[in-house]
């Protein structure tokens, strides 16, 4: 059955892939975005689609729409972008989520919150399970995002308890793929763009910190499964449990791009988490989901995207 679905942050990296997936399944998609980190170019291929609608709107302001599902993704995700205007980041997470939950309540829509592994902070438990409460600095440079998303989770669960809004929460771990911005600032796009341009790869710290990288198609599949799973609120981790050090990622990127860029070290940002890997047992059990795309395959797709995006052959 065709549904009318709202995707906030739909012109961003994950949002554009999600809009495409929902359109391919026959749904009507309304994409709301204020283009803070999203790009019209990302959604340009969708503009002619008869079931796609794009609206410039800041979720900090309320909006009236009639929809049956809401994927709430609006929020800058890269540390560089969310720290550029931290007060706006907090407003987006708190007031934006409040407004979109209010909308869900009014129209009776199922609501999916794009939360983050960052709510675990610099985790003392490894790998991270959903019942781990986290180790987050409330006053540091990452707090606008970490704490903002923690309040967003709180709001979602309070709307569920107090107003019976049908919410679910995805805790998304590091995700990568085509349509990331060249200046996104996250590690995968930085390393690939640096390698393709022959510039030094910037490893922050000694490169021994770890992350677990999920290809965007796998992630989007997890989001859709979560939305379609009735009577399940989560929170549920969505990410790829294969864990790599940042130094390993740099070496892999150099090998796969055939680049002879040198590696340089830069200071480790404050509160940079040491290790991160999702425990995805719950997603397997409740959503029948696990990621399928290995890092090498996903990197190949992403490198091909950036080669054409930055005008290389």
Catalytic, out of 82, 120, 145, 159: 145
DSSP state of 229: S
CB atoms within 10 A of CB 50: 7
Which C-beta is closer to ligand NAD: that of 96 or that of 123? Answer: 96
Binding partner selected for residue 259 from ligand UDP, ligand NAD, none, CB under the kind-specific 5 to 8 Å limit: none
Q: Which of 59, 100, 104, 187 is the binder for ligand NAD (CB under 6 A)? A: 59
Q: 138: buried, middle or exposed (CB in 10 Å: 19+, 13-18, 0-12)?
A: exposed
For residue 199, what are its two tokens? Answer: 């510039």
Task: Please report how close the Cβ of residue 242 comes to ligand UDP at its closest, in angstroms.
Answer: 15
- Each residue 80-99 as x (binds ligand NAD by CB under 6 A) or -, in order, gives ------------x---x---
Which C-beta is closer to ligand NAD: that of 9 or that of 261? Answer: 9
Which C-beta is closer to ligand UDP: that of 169 or that of 187? Answer: 187
DSSP helix/strand/coil, 25 = coil
Q: How far, CA to CA in Å, does 130 sit from each of 111, 218, 256, 269, 309?
A: 19, 19, 34, 26, 37
Catalytic residue check, 145: yes
Q: Interface with ligand NAD includes 201 (CB under 6 A)?
A: no
Site size with ligand NAD, rule: CB under 6 A = 29
Classify each residue of 122-134 as buried b or exposed e, where b means 16 or more C-beta atoms within 10 Å of its C-beta: bbeeebbebebeb
Binding partner selected for residue 153 from ligand NAD, ligand UDP, none, CB under the kind-specific 5 to 8 Å limit: none
Report how far residue 46's alpha carbon sits from residue 23's, in angstroms, rounded to the nearest whole number: 9
Q: Interface with ligand NAD includes 18 (CB under 6 A)?
A: no
Q: Give the residue ranges of DSSP H helices in 137-233.
A: 143-163, 187-197, 216-228
Supply the residues annotated as catalytic. 145
Interface residues toward ligand NAD, by CB under 6 A: 8-9, 11-15, 32-38, 58-60, 73-77, 92, 96, 114, 116, 172, 174-175
């Amino acid at each position: 059955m065709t549904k009318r679905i709202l995707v906030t942050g739909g012109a961003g990296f994950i949002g554009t892939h999600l809009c495409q997936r929902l359109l391919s399944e026959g749904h009507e998609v309304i994409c709301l975005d204020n283009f803070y980190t999203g790009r019209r170019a990302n959604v340009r291929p969708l503009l002619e689609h008869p079931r796609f609608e794009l609206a410039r709107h800041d979720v900090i302001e309320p909006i009236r729409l009639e929809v049956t599902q809401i994927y709430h993704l609006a929020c800058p995700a890269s540390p560089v972008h969310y720290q550029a205007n931290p007060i706006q980041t907090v407003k987006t997470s708190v007031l934006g989520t409040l407004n979109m939950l209010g909308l869900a309540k009014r129209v009776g829509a199922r609501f999916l919150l794009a939360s983050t592994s960052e709510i675990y902070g610099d985790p003392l438990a490894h790998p991270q399970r959903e019942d781990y409460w986290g180790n987050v600095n409330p006053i540091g440079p990452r707090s606008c995002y970490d704490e903002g998303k923690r309040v967003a989770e709180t709001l979602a669960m309070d709307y569920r308890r107090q107003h019976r809004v049908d919410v679910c929460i995805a805790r998304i771990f590091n995700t990568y793929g085509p349509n990331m911005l060249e200046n996104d600032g996250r590690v995968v796009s930085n390393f690939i763009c640096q390698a393709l341009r022959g510039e030094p790869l910037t490893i922050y710290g000694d490169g021994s910190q770890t992350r677990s990288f999920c290809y965007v198609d796998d992630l989007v599949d997890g989001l859709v499964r979560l939305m379609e799973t009735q009577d399940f609120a989560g929170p549920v981790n969505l990410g790829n449990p294969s864990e790599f050090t940042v130094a390993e990622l740099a070496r892999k990127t150099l090998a796969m791009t055939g680049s002879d860029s040198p590696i340089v070290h830069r200071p480790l940002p404050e509160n940079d988490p040491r290790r991160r890997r999702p425990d995805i047992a719950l997603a397997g059990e409740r959503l029948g989901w696990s990621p399928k795309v290995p890092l090498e395959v996903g990197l190949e797709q992403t490198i091909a995207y950036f080669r054409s995006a930055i005008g290389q052959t």
